Structure 1
C-alpha cells in the first residue's frame, strides 16, 4: 500500500522520482523492489541453512524482561545480532533508495533513526509491564508514531526513510515464506469468495450513496469505492488514474483511507478481543474490513500467527489481486459511458481501452508472497519429516523474527506519516459516502468471518 508520504510534496521533491524514466519497471518500482528484497532474504536463509549456518545471526529476538539488569544482559547478548540486522536491512533498503532516486545521505540518516526507534519500541513491548497490558510492538509503534508525527512533523531527512509501502510489502513477502503453499491452496478459494462478496457490497454502497444521495461525481465516487473496498491507497491511485478522476479527488480518497484505516486498527482489535474471537476468525475479519495492508497487519499482529495467516489470506490473496482487474473494469465503464459523454460534448475522439492495465496495476508483491511460500514448502518437502524441525528452527523462525522487525518499521512509519488534520479537509459528503461503505464493510465482514465461515477460520 503506498502511503501519502510516498507521494510527491513540495518539501520532499528532491527525494522523489521525477520526470520521465527510461529504466525498467523492475528497477524503479517499490512494488518490484519489495519482491527482490523479500525473496533475497528468503533465499539467503535457505543458502545459509544448506551451508550449515542460519540467518538467525541477523534475526534478534528480545525475550520478555522484568528488570533492568535482565534487559542489560539481553541487549549485551543480542548487540551483535541487532547491529548485523541494521547493516543488512540498511544496505538493502539503501540500495532500493538509490534506484528510487532518494538522497542517499537523507535515507541513511532517516533509516538509522527509524531503526533505533524500532529497537526502543521492541524493548518497551517486551517489558513485562507492557505485556501485562497487551501492549504489543505494533500498537506501541503506532501510538508512538502518531504522537510524535502529529506533534512534530518529520524533517525531510527522516521523511525520506518513511517508506510504508516498501516495508509492509517486504514483510508480506516474508510472511508468505512462513505459510505452507498447501494452506494457501486450501484456504485461498474461501478467502477469495469472502473478499469478493465484501468488496462488491462495499463498492456499491459507497458508489450509490455518493452519486444518488450525495451528488458526487461518478469518477470521484468510483475512486472512493475502490479505496474502501479493495486495497486502500493503492486502489485509490490505480482506479483514480483509470477513470481519470481529478488529482484532488484522489488525494481526498487517500486521506479518508488513511484516517479510517488507523481508526479501524483500534476499533477492530478492541472489539475482537472484547468478544474473545478466535485468532483465525479475528484475522479473517480484519482482512475483510481493513482498508490497507500495513494497518491490517498492525491489527492482525495482536492475534498471533493464526491471526496473521487468516488476515493475509483474505486481504492479500482475496482482495489485493483485484486492483488490476477493477482498474480495467472501471476504465471500460469510464471510457464507454463517462468519456463518451465528455468526448461528445467536446467534439474529441473516444479513447481506447488498454487491457494491459491488468498487469500494470497488479500488485507485484503478491507474486513474491506466493514464491516465498512455494520455496519454503518445497524445502520442507525435500527434507522430509526428519529435517522439517531443523528448517523450522533455522529458517522459518528467524524469517518470522526479521519479519517482525520489518513490520515494526512499518507501524512506526504509519504513525509518523499520519496527520489527524487530514480528516478536516475532505468535506462531509465524501466522508459520509466512504463511512457508509466502511460500516457495511465491517458488519458484513464480521458476519461472514464470525458467523457463516467461523468454523473454517477457527480450524485454519
Structure 2
C-alpha cells in the first residue's frame, strides 16, 4: 500500500504558480506583510531601529509567512512538512543577517545587494561546517527561487517601460539577441556542455542572476552549474560597476549614452543603479530604463529557451531528428514562467494604478526575501571544490570573453541610439 504523504498532488512549477498567486491575491485583498527596516548607520541605530522590539516583531511575522508558504508548498507536493518547521527558521535568520549587513550605510553606498551577502554567508558556513540532515532537507532552493520569480513579475510593468522610452527596448532587443547567440556559439566552440552554455549566455545577455535562475528552471538545470554562473555574475558585477563610469568619462561619452551602456552591460540591478549614480541623474534614469527593458525580456527568453530545450533534448525521440509533440512540449514547459508573465500582465493592465501602488512595496519586499533565502540555500549547498577546479576554467573563460563582447556591442548600440 502506497504512502499517501509521498503522493505528488501538483508538480513543483504548478505549486509555485499557486503559491505566488495566492500571495498576490492576498496582497490585492489588503493582507499586506509589514516591511521590516534594515537600514542603519551606527551601532546605536542598529540597536534602537533594526533590533527594536517593533522591528523584530515584523521580522517574526515575515518568518511565519515564509513558513506557511513553504509548508503549503510541501503539502501540495505531497512532501514532509517537518523540515520547514525545523530547518527553514535557521535559513531565514541567516538571510536576515545578510539583510542587516546590507542595510548598513557603507554597503548601501556601494549598492551591494542582499543576495551577495546571503550567498557569502551560505558559502562560508556550508564549506566550514558539516550541515545536519534536518537543515539540508529545508534547502528548497528551486521552490524559493521560483516563488520569487513569480512575484518579480508584479514589478515588470509594461506601461512604465513603454512610457520611459522605446530606445531602451530597441537596445535591449538588439543586445540580448546578439550577445546571447555569441555567448552560446562561443560555449559550443569551447566544448562547454549545452546546459552550462545556455545558463552562461542568458546571464551575460539578459539580466544576470535572475536570467540564470529563470533559464535553469526552464531547462531543469543542475544546481551546481547554476551556483557557478551566479558566482561569476556577482564577482564581475562589482568591478564593472566601479570602473565603467570612469571609462565612459575618459571616452567623453554623454550621460545618456553612458547610462544606456551601463544598463545594458552590468548584470545586477543594484550595481546598475550605483554606476548610474556615479555619472549623473540622466545616466541613472537611462540606465534604469534599459535594465528594466532587459528584465521585460526575461519571461520571453525563458519561454523560448524552454521550447528550444524540449525540442532538442526530447527523451522520447528514437533519433535526433524526431521532434516532440505539442503535448510533450507542454508537459516539459516550465509553468512558473507563465506565472511570471501572468503576474506582469495583471499588474500592467488589469489592476488600477492605485492598487498597484498600494501593494508593490510589500510584494517587492517579500519577493526580495525569497531570492535572498534562495541564495542562502545555494551557498549552504555549494562546495568550493566543485566550483573552482580545473574543469571550471572553460566556462570562466567563455563568460569573460562573452562579457567583453557584451561591453563592446552594447557601447556601439548605445552610442548609435542615444548620442
Shorter-chain-normalised TM-score: which range? 0.7 to 0.9
SS in 2 for 1:321: helix
SS in 2 for 1:409: helix
Deviation at 1:111? 1.1
Equivalences for residues 34-433 of structure 1 within 5 A: 34-48=16-30, 55=32, 57-68=33-44, 71-74=47-50, 75-131=52-108, 134-183=111-160, 191-210=172-191, 221-230=193-202, 232=212, 255-276=224-245, 281-286=261-266, 306=288, 309-310=292-293, 312-314=295-297, 316-317=298-299, 319-331=301-313, 339=319, 353-378=324-349, 382=352, 388=354, 391-392=356-357, 394-423=358-387, 428=391, 431=392, 433=394
C-alpha separation between the residues in 1 aligned to 2:415 and 2:380? 35
1:306-336 deviation line (CA, Å, top 9, x unaligned) = 386355234x235322222221442489969
C-alpha separation between the residues in 1 aligned to 2:387 and 2:136? 21
Contact in 1 for aligned 2:39/2:105 (Cα 8 Å)? no
C-alpha separation between the residues in 1 aligned to 2:82 and 2:336? 27
Q: What are the ranges of 5 or more consecutive residues in structure 1 without an aligned counterpart? A: 1-16, 49-53, 211-219, 242-249, 288-295, 341-349
TM-score, normalized by length of structure 2? 0.75
Given the superposition, is the C-alpha separation of residues 225 and 60 from structure 1 closer, same or farther in structure 2, using an over 3 Å criterion? same
C-alpha separation between the residues in 2 aligned to 1:89 and 1:445? 38
Contact in 2 for aligned 1:106/1:160 (Cα 8 Å)? yes
C-alpha separation between the residues in 2 aligned to 1:363 and 1:204? 24
C-alpha separation between the residues in 1 aligned to 2:300 and 2:396? 22
Deviation at 1:150? 1.2
Given the superposition, is the C-alpha separation of residues 161 and 201 from structure 1 closer, same or farther in structure 2, using an over 3 Å criterion? same
1:354-400 deviation line (CA, Å, top 9, x unaligned) = 343433343322222222222223466x46xxxx4x752x3112222
Deviation at 1:193? 4.3
C-alpha separation between the residues in 1 aligned to 2:112 and 2:218? 35
SS in 2 for 1:63: coil
C-alpha separation between the residues in 2 aligned to 1:391 and 1:221? 42
SS in 1 for 2:312: helix
Given the superposition, is the C-alpha separation of residues 81 and 34 from structure 1 closer, same or farther in structure 2, using an over 3 Å criterion? same
1:447 to 387, 404, 408: 408
C-alpha separation between the residues in 2 aligned to 1:171 and 1:443? 30
SS in 2 for 1:62: coil
Contact in 1 for aligned 2:303/2:337 (Cα 8 Å)? yes
1:214-271 deviation line (CA, Å, top 9, x unaligned) = xxxxxx74344334334657767876x9xxxxxxxx86xx644432431321112321
Given the superposition, is the C-alpha separation of residues 175 and 160 from structure 1 closer, same or farther in structure 2, using an over 3 Å criterion? same
Given the superposition, is the C-alpha separation of residues 370 and 260 from structure 1 closer, same or farther in structure 2, using an over 3 Å criterion? closer
Given the superposition, is the C-alpha separation of residues 321 and 188 from structure 1 closer, same or farther in structure 2, using an over 3 Å criterion? farther
Deviation at 1:46? 1.4
TM-score, normalized by length of structure 1? 0.69
Contact in 2 for aligned 1:35/1:368 (Cα 8 Å)? yes
C-alpha separation between the residues in 2 aligned to 1:171 and 1:237? 12
SS in 2 for 1:374: helix
SS in 2 for 1:404: helix
SS in 2 for 1:162: coil
C-alpha separation between the residues in 1 aligned to 2:110 and 2:374? 22
Contact in 1 for aligned 2:113/2:270 (Cα 8 Å)? no
Contact in 2 for aligned 1:122/1:137 (Cα 8 Å)? yes
Q: How many residues align?
A: 380
Q: Which residue of 1 aligns with 2:279?
A: none
SS in 2 for 1:61: coil
C-alpha separation between the residues in 2 aligned to 1:367 and 1:169? 11
C-alpha separation between the residues in 2 aligned to 1:78 and 1:455? 49
1:379-434 deviation line (CA, Å, top 9, x unaligned) = 66x46xxxx4x752x31122222222222212212222221111366x64xx4543
Contact in 1 for aligned 2:151/2:367 (Cα 8 Å)? yes
